[in-house]
């Protein structure tokens, strides 16, 4: 990936985090939801574009990848400004782009899912593209349901709930990369553990999302617990089977972020439904959960894909990982409530992105 493209992603990812703290600025007369830009800029504009880039396996971002990036920015802006007709049109164009890439590199029908001849890595890769297509269609349906014609009247059927669906394709492509490292040791076979991992993650998230929409408490706890144990299984497989490379440290760190995300998600569900719910405490838990998922787990996977052919990168990996954990687990949740800490979070986040995305291989002196 070119330096210019990595720099672009760094700037957009930084803007995404910045919009996550915009509520701290007194904008009482402002009627727009910055949370949408916070989600779109990271998950859709950067994450989905990186997915397209990784699928096409070209040295530079292709024309179709560039079109996707530009249109995804336009979609985010239109949804932020509540220009929903334009957002629907752009979302459909994005859907067509993703499907054209998916059909070209895989197939119209996801037959790879049911074949024992295809690697687990390939299955997750195809699932990531298919999930992105579905998320775009669901966003169109959610906009129509909320703004034009209500065909499903549930309190959880709101735009921001469906917009969060753009995060899942990033998780799937990260798992694809993880299993590809296992494949390099010739262990990415269609065995029971790999097959179970693929189906448990994909079906589990679909079922979990349905339970969220219908606001079902115990089913959410059960399926989220099942997903948690599936994540542990994948982590064990990866730790034992993947080649010992620098990427392994970043991806292992990402998996630990994912496990923390799963635990915090379970705790939030239990607290919401079975304890005396306090809005402020609930908001603290869910924000910590969101920061860990978005800027912990998802960033780990995207960084590896962006620098896929550049490793080993001669940076102080342990110090970068420590700074990553400090920023995501401590500073970001506190910064969500206190402006000075939010500024410090953004500064540290920029440092992390610089050394992960832009390092040219020279030893880092700033973190020494």
Q: In this structure, are residues 242 and 185 in contact, taking their beta carbons and an 8 Å threshold? A: yes
Determine the pLDDT at residue 362.
Answer: 47
pTM of the model: 0.88
- Residues 294-352: tens digit of each pLDDT: 899 999 889 888 887 776 665 557 788 899 999 999 999 999 888 999 999 999 999 99
If pLDDT is split at 50, 70 and 90, which confidence band does 160 have?
low
Return the minimum-mean-pLDDT range out of 21-30, 55-64, 115-124. 21-30
116 exposure class (CB count in 10 Å sphere: 0-12, 13-18, 19+) = exposed
Determine the pLDDT at residue 314.
Answer: 56
Strand, helix or coil for residue 16: helix
* Average pLDDT value over all residues in the chain: 84
Determine the pLDDT at residue 343.
Answer: 94
Helices (H) and strands (E) in the chain, counts: 16, 0
Return the minimum-mean-pLDDT range out of 190-204, 270-284, 290-304. 270-284
pLDDT exceeds 70 at position 109: yes
pLDDT exceeds 60 at position 189: no
pLDDT exceeds 90 at position 50: yes
Cα torsion angle, 280, 286, 292, 294, sign: negative
Cα torsion angle, 245, 247, 251, 252, sign: positive
Domains annotated on the chain, with CATH: 3-358 (1.20.210)
- Residues 116-132: tens digit of each pLDDT: 788 888 999 999 999 99
Q: What do you get for the CA distance between the two ends of the chain, in Å? A: 27
Q: Is the peptide bond before 350 cis (omega within 30 degrees of 0)?
A: no
Return the minimum-mean-pLDDT range out of 31-35, 154-158, 226-230. 154-158
């Amino acid at each position: 990936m070119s330096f210019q493209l990595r720099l672009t992603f760094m700037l957009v990812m930084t803007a995404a985090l910045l919009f996550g703290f915009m509520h701290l600025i007194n904008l009482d007369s402002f009627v727009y939801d910055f949370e949408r830009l916070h989600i779109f800029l990271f998950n859709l504009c950067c994450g989905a574009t990186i997915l397209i880039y990784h699928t096409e396996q070209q040295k530079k971002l292709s024309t179709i990848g560039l079109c996707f990036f530009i249109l995804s920015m336009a979609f985010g802006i239109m949804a932020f400004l509540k220009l929903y007709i334009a957002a629907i049109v752009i979302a459909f164009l994005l859907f067509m782009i993703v499907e054209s890439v998916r059909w070209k590199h895989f197939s119209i029908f996801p037959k790879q899912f049911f074949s024992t001849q295809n690697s687990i890595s390939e299955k997750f890769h195809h699932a990531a593209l298919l999930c992105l297509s579905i998320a775009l269609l669901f966003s169109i349906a959610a906009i129509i349901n909320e703004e034009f014609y209500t065909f499903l009247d549930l309190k959880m059927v709101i735009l921001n709930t469906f917009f969060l669906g753009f995060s899942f394709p990033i998780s799937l492509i990260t798992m694809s990369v993880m299993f590809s490292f296992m494949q390099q040791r010739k262990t990415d076979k269609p065995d029971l553990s790999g097959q179970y991992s693929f189906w448990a993650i994909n079906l589990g998230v679909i079922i979990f999302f349905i339970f969220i929409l219908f606001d079902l408490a115990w089913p959410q706890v059960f399926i989220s617990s099942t997903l948690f144990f599936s994540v542990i299984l994948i982590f064990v497989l990866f730790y034992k089977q993947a080649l010992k490379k620098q990427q392994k440290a970043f991806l292992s760190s990402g998996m630990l972020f994912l496990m923390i995300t799963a635990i915090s998600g379970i705790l939030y569900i239990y607290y919401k439904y079975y304890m005396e719910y306090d809005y402020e405490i609930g908001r603290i838990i869910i924000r910590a959960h969101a920061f860990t998922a978005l800027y912990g787990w998802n960033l780990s996977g995207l960084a590896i894909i962006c620098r896929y052919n550049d490793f080993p990168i001669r940076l102080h990996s342990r110090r970068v990982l420590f700074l990553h954990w400090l920023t995501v687990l401590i500073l970001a949740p506190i910064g969500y409530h206190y402006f000075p800490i939010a500024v410090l979070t953004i500064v540290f986040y920029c440092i992390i992105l610089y050394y992960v995305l832009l390092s040219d291989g020279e030893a880092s002196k700033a973190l020494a």
